[in-house]
Amino acid sequence: MIKSGKGKLVISLMIVAFIAIVAMVFFYTTPIDEAKAIEYLDDDAVENLGLNSLSWEKLTLEDFGYEMLGDEKQINVYDNGSAQIAVYRAKAPYISYFDKDSGEWTMVECSWWENGEPEILYANDGVFLAKITGLANIIASHDGITWYNAGFCEGAYNAMTTAAYDAEESSGIVSWWYEKTPIYHSFDSLEEKTKWTLIEPTEEKKVPIFKYLTAHKGNFVGVVGGDKSIAIASSTAPDKWTTTIPEDENDTRYMFIQSVNEKLFVTKYNYRKTGGDYIYNVKLCMVSDDATQITETNLSWVGDLASNNISNPRNIIWMDEWNKYALFTEKMMYLSDDGIRWKGVEQPDLSVSQYDTFDGAIYIPGNGFYVKASGYVYFAPY
């Protein structure tokens, strides 16, 4: 027979163990958070904007004037605020731009891409900045027709990952995925081939490596490599960076930072492992102009990170004629007056296969909407 003192101890330990097991089961089976319910735009507003009659079709590279090379199918669309281009990711010595006079996509020669596949790193403020895959040159254009060798990054290593440009200050930066040569910058004309200046890290001055960059109201703002922090620098002093959103105890991550019509957007997420799977809690957020504060919007997603239900700031456009922001996700179009509260309009035909995601949207007035998927672009006349 167990003595009473020891019996109470055993029972207490059993209760503690039971509570711990229940807590573990609860933690590993309960989602981090529930995705917020979708708010829908009212029927009158949908009809007034003509969004109930949008008809989506898939455009391939041939629809933009390209001929397929090998088995490469990827086509991307970009808008720098004054010009629109469709870029085929292949060594094709030409590029397609939207001719506003004819209302057609038009091919022009661009010999730079004979040296490597093109990748547009930045499109805004009347500027396109691109790289030639495998080389250290920055290729630039204002109108999508004439392309300049805007300079080179001497001594760079690995891959050029992202870029940003402030047209008012004629200030540009590019980031490389290498700790000893992370950032190069230039104040020179984009129409001249010049040597871009390396911002060299020192023990006293660490220079971040960036995964994503954008220009916003006189500053460069970026998600630092590792995705756990956000940093900012004045476009007039791109060698002086300040971490404004540091790493936190919740292991919060960020991606897809983008400035759209005076608002700064970013996607943030947390995750945890449940069994052999990861569950992600993903939220569209607005960042303050000084990049010190983050405000969550009413758009969120709980589930797989490779989901087209995630609100990607690259798929946000500003509609002048509506005075609203528009955003595209799986089978949905969202509208917002302020970038914080979004209301949805169902788009049943705007859908991709599992693990495919939209990554870039543009609107051409009088022509329509374009949303980039893998190997094709969705188009809806409007």
Tens digit of each residue's pLDDT (9 = 90 or more) over 301-350: 999 999 999 999 999 999 999 999 999 999 999 999 999 999 999 999 99
Residue 2 binned pLDDT confidence (cut-offs 50, 70, 90): very low
Mean pLDDT across the chain, nearest whole number? 92
* pLDDT at 147 exceeding the cut of 80: yes
Residue 35 binned pLDDT confidence (cut-offs 50, 70, 90): confident
Tens digit of each residue's pLDDT (9 = 90 or more) over 122-132: 999 999 999 99
* pLDDT at 19 exceeding the cut of 50: no
Of 374, 209, 221, which Cα lies nearest the Cα of 308?
374
Q: What is the pLDDT of residue 32?
A: 56
What whole-number percentage of the chain has pLDDT above 90?
Answer: 86
3-state secondary structure of 253: strand
- What is the domain partition of the chain in residue ranges? 1-30, 35-59+253-355, 65-247
List residues bridging with 296 in a β-sheet.
285
Give how far Cα 156 sits from Cα of 6, 137, 174, 199, 200, Å: 69, 10, 11, 11, 11
Token couple for 201: 């890290």
What whole-number percentage of the chain has pLDDT above 70?
Answer: 91
Report yes or no: 269 and 252 within 8 Å, Cβ to Cβ: yes
Q: What is the pLDDT of residue 33?
A: 61
User: 65-247 adopts what CATH topology?
Assistant: Neuraminidase (2.120.10)
Angle at 328 between CA 325 and CA 329, to 5 degrees: 140
Among 158-162, 197-201, 324-328, the range scoring the smallest mean pLDDT is 197-201
For 167-275, list the strands marked E by DSSP.
Answer: 171-176, 183-186, 197-198, 210-216, 219-224, 230-234, 242-245, 253-260, 263-274
Residue 276 binned pLDDT confidence (cut-offs 50, 70, 90): confident
What is the rounded distance in angstroms from the CA atom of residue 81 to the CA atom of residue 97?
13
The structure tokens 């254009």 sit at 141
Q: What is the pLDDT of residue 25?
A: 39
* pLDDT at 11 exceeding the cut of 60: no
User: What is the pLDDT averaged over residues 220-244?
Assistant: 97
| DSSP H helical ranges for the chain | 4-29, 43-49
Of residues 379 and 273, the one with the higher pLDDT is 379
Q: What is the pLDDT of residue 23?
A: 41
Of 215, 217, 175, which Cα lies nearest the Cα of 196?
175
Long-range CB contacts (within 8 A, 24+) of 85-92: 85/120, 85/123, 85/128, 85/141, 85/144, 86/377, 87/118, 87/119, 87/120, 87/130, 88/61, 88/64, 88/118, 89/117, 89/118, 89/119, 90/66, 90/117, 91/115, 91/116, 91/117, 92/66, 92/67
Full-model pTM: 0.90
What is the rounded distance in angstroms from the CA atom of residue 230 to the CA atom of residue 166?
19
Q: What is the pLDDT of residue 299?
A: 98
